[in-house]
Amino acid sequence: MAAQTTHNAGDAHDGNPVAEAAEAVHGHEVPAGTTEVAAHGGEGGGLPQFRMEYWGGQIIWLLIIFAVLYALLAKVFVPRLRKIQDTRAQTIAEAVEQARTVQAEADAQAKAAQAELEDARAQARRLAADAKAKAQAEMAASQAAEDQRLNAELEQAEARIRGLRDQAMSNVRGIAADTAEAMVAKLTGQAPSRADIDAALAGRTTEGAA
């Protein structure tokens, strides 16, 4: 220490203006061998950091403080923080896993529901198709029956019309025969035989029909 101080005092005038100015202010030389802190102010020349008499103490104190700090961090705080981070990572992983399971379950359920829906839809479609077919068949059957009934009625009506016409025709024949007989009687004065009239009518009718 003494040697260092002597050395520092020795090169006080090394041309550093700051140091010299500071020295001028303080205006005293440090006696060799002193460790008096009050004598600060640049007697070492240059930066105060290069005054070696404080290096030893700073280094030892730094090592002690660093060692204590390192021990506290390494043994107490880092494991604590590591643990909480690991716990968090694990919690998150678990939650994600759980969410994934739930998601898979939900997916399966959704798939099942979808399938069920498909089934129901197909069934409904089939039911609708069946109902439609049945209705069509029923409609066709009832239409056929109705057609048949109408046809029968039509035939019946036609038959009646034919009967009435035939009857009317025979009445017309009678009337014609009577008329012809009356006309012949009036014209000739003698009544024609029924057979002649019939023959004449038959010829006419055949002619008229032809």
Partner 1 sequence: MADPMHQFEVQKIVDLPDFSIPGVGVIDMAFTNSTLAMTLAAGAIVAFMAVSTAKVSVVPGRLQAMGEGAFSYIDNLTTSIIGHEGRKFFPFIFTLFLFILAMNILGLFLVFTATSQLAVTATLAIMTILLVLIVGFARNGASMYKLFVPAGVPWYMLLLVTPIEFISFLLRPATLALRLFGNMLGGHVALKVFAGFIISLGGLAAGGGLGLLGIPGAAVSLGGVVALTALEFLVAFLQAFVFAVLTCVYLNDVVNLGHHH
Binding site for partner 1 (CB under 8 A): 1, 18, 21-22, 35, 37, 40-42, 47-51, 53-63, 65-66, 68-70, 72-74, 76-78, 80-85, 87-88, 91
Could you tell me the two tokens for 22?
């500071």
Separation between Cα atoms, residue 163 and residue 156, nearest integer Å: 10
Tokens of 62: 């730094």
At closest approach, how far in Å is the CB of 98 from partner 1?
Answer: 15
We find the least distance from the C-beta atom of residue 8 to partner 1, in angstroms, to be 13
- Closest C-alpha to 3, from 35, 27, 26, 28: 35
Closer to partner 1 at the Cβ: 83 or 165? 83
Which residue, 21 or 144, has its beta carbon nearer to partner 1? 21
Compute the C-alpha angle 12/13/19, nearest 5°.
70
Q: Vertex 89, ends 85 and 90: CA angle to 5°?
A: 115
Using the minimum distance from each CB to partner 1, give the nearer residue, 53 or 181. Answer: 53
Q: Which SS3 state, helix, strand or coil, does residue 56 take? A: helix
CA torsion sign, 163 to 164 to 166 to 171? positive
Task: Please state the closest distance from residue 28 (CB atom) to partner 1, in A.
Answer: 16
> Residue 89 or 128: which CB sits closer to partner 1?
89
Q: Which is nearer to partner 1, 10 or 66 (CB)?
A: 66
For residues 82 and 16, give the distance between their C-alpha atoms in angstroms, rounded to a whole number: 52
CA distance 125 to 119: 10
Smallest distance, partner 1 to C-beta of residue 6, A: 14
What is the nearest approach in angstroms of partner 1 to the Cβ of residue 101? 20
